Amino acid sequence: MTRHSSGKDRGKPLPLGARINRIAGNLLDSPFIGSPLSGEAVGKVVRARRLRHRYFPNMLFGEPAWDMLLELLEAETEGRQATLTTLCEAAGIPATIARRWLNSLTAEGLVLRRPDPQNAFNERIELEPKAKRAFRRYFDDISRSDKPDAG
């Protein structure tokens, strides 16, 4: 769900850059613990996000940047290359909107885009090290929250 502006602009969605900043800030706020990412854990999060569309209207969930980041992470853990097409499918958005989100994610230092040496019409899209570290912390926090307190 998109956070909205406060004050006189209450109820209006935040601009794209502000939403990306909020998402990036949330990713980077958790404490660092250098555990490896589990493809199984990533897959669970991705499946859970997709499963909710069976039960609730799609229009309720508008987080294309997060869906794109998760797709990039899942592609990496599976050893495959993410493409603009797979990012569009993961986020449920057209290519024009996906490109805008990619530009914002790139500007935030979360995504790396470079030409594909094997196909001049494609580009390689992958997570920047900053995003990978943030995901490690995120998934570590998730795994810790699944464990009962030993107090």
The residues of the chain scoring below 50 in pLDDT are: 1-7, 9-10, 26-35, 150-151
Are the beta carbons of 71 and 82 closer than 8 angstroms?
Answer: yes
CA 151, CA 49: separation in Å to the nearest integer? Answer: 32
Q: What's the one-letter identity of residue 123?
A: E
Kindly report the pTM of this predicted structure: 0.64
Angle between helices 95-107 and 84-91 (to 10 degrees): 100
Q: How many of the other CB atoms lie within 10 Å of CB of 143?
A: 13
Written out in words, the top-level CATH class of the domain with range 16-26+34-144 is mainly alpha
Q: Residue 42: what are its φ and ψ, rounded to 5°?
A: -60, -45
CA 21, CA 95: separation in Å to the nearest integer? Answer: 22
What is residue 60's predicted lDDT score, i.e. its pLDDT?
Answer: 60
What is residue 20's predicted lDDT score, i.e. its pLDDT?
Answer: 56
The residues spanned by each domain of the chain are: 16-26+34-144
Q: Which spans in 1-151 are helix H? A: 16-28, 39-55, 64-78, 84-91, 95-107, 129-146
Cβ-Cβ contacts under 8 Å for 39 (sequence gap 6 or more): 74, 77, 78
23: nearest Cα among 89, 105, 141, 84 = 105
